[in-house]
Amino acid sequence: MKPVNQKAWFLILPVLVCVAFSAIIPLMTVVNYSVQDIISPERRVFVGTEWFASVMRDPDLHEALWRQIVFSFSVLACEIPLGILLALSMPAEGWRASITLVVVALSLLIPWNVVGTIWQIYGRADIGLMGATLQLMNIDYNYTGNATDAWLTVLLMDIWHWTPLVALLCFAGLRSIPDAYYQAAQIDGASKLDVFRFIQLPKMRGVLIIAVLLRFMDSFMIYTEPFVLTGGGPGNATTFLSQYLTQKAVGQFDLGPAAAFSLIYFLIILLLCFILYNWMQQVGTQAKEQIHG
């Protein structure tokens, strides 16, 4: 028999230590909280899955979750097509391309709480460019008082903030298509729409999967911008999951339920990303399987 050398385990030890401190130990703390009722630092009671059960029956959470799902899918529905359109209309090379890239990427460089502040001012009816303009056009717009306005403003803010990311990813995807594809399409007599459908879109599939997943995860965890802009209001109109979680954990100091909810939150994101990823992978391979199967 061949002797088995187990020394290689030592080589992955540093990684294990790093991951332990960066992910596993904090996560375990949360798990630890989630099964206890912490009354005071000295008094804690083991409660089993009680917090999980109660959190999952919490109607406020159901609302926040539903709000979150609608928001995230709205974000995807707006940002992905917009990002593709933006990438398609960007100049491909030369100094114009460089300038466009910088301008497009600007919003990505702004700290998130500043984005919230910008939009807070931008939307004000008295001095904000957008708010005041809408008032002048006799549109009754008030993001601090009207739930729909608040929700739409948060959505608009997210689109403004993050569409450039999608655009940059798509731009990179488009740039990687060799000229020969466009030339061949021209020779085959393809229309612009055909070029988009049969060349550009299929070739962007990889970056689009990344864009969808990134935007989905990020928007699902959105916190800072609505916190600055609306504080979750009016009422609960823009209270998304993170906001809700913070209110529980920091506002009310309900560490047990907050921890239980964190874990559920984490699993929801994981599950949805898993579904999205597999669905997008399938879109590409479905036809192939149909033929072989």
Q: Under the rule (CB under 8 A), what is the footprint of another protein?
A: 178, 180-181, 183-184, 186-191, 194, 197-199, 202-203, 287-288, 291
Give the C-alpha distances (Å, rounded to integers) separating 75 from 158, 160, 162: 7, 10, 9
Shortest spacing between CB 185 and another protein, in angstroms: 8
Give the C-alpha distances (Å, rounded to integers) separating 73 from 11, 56, 216, 245, 276: 43, 22, 8, 20, 11
Q: Toward another protein, which CB reaches closer, 113 or 186?
A: 186
Indicate the helix (H) or strand (E) that contains 178.
Answer: none
Q: Toward another protein, which CB reaches closer, 47 or 195?
A: 195
Shortest spacing between CB 200 and another protein, in angstroms: 11
**Exposure letters 260-286 (e unless 16+ CB within 10 A, then b):** bbbbbbeeebeebeeebeeebeeeeee
Shortest spacing between CB 193 and another protein, in angstroms: 11
Q: Toward another protein, which CB reaches closer, 32 or 186?
A: 186
Q: Toward another protein, which CB reaches closer, 21 or 279?
A: 279
Residue 38 forms beta bridges with which residues? 44
Shortest spacing between CB 192 and another protein, in angstroms: 12
Q: Toward another protein, which CB reaches closer, 68 or 200?
A: 200
What is d(CA 293, CA 287) in angstroms, rounded to the nearest whole number? 10
Q: Toward another protein, which CB reaches closer, 133 or 183?
A: 183
Shortest spacing between CB 29 and another protein, in angstroms: 47
Please list, in sequence order, all residues whose beta carbon lies within 8 angstroms of the beta carbon of residue 132, skipping any fewer than 6 positions away: 124, 125, 126
Shortest spacing between CB 189 and another protein, in angstroms: 4
What is d(CA 251, CA 245) in angstroms, rounded to the nearest whole number? 9
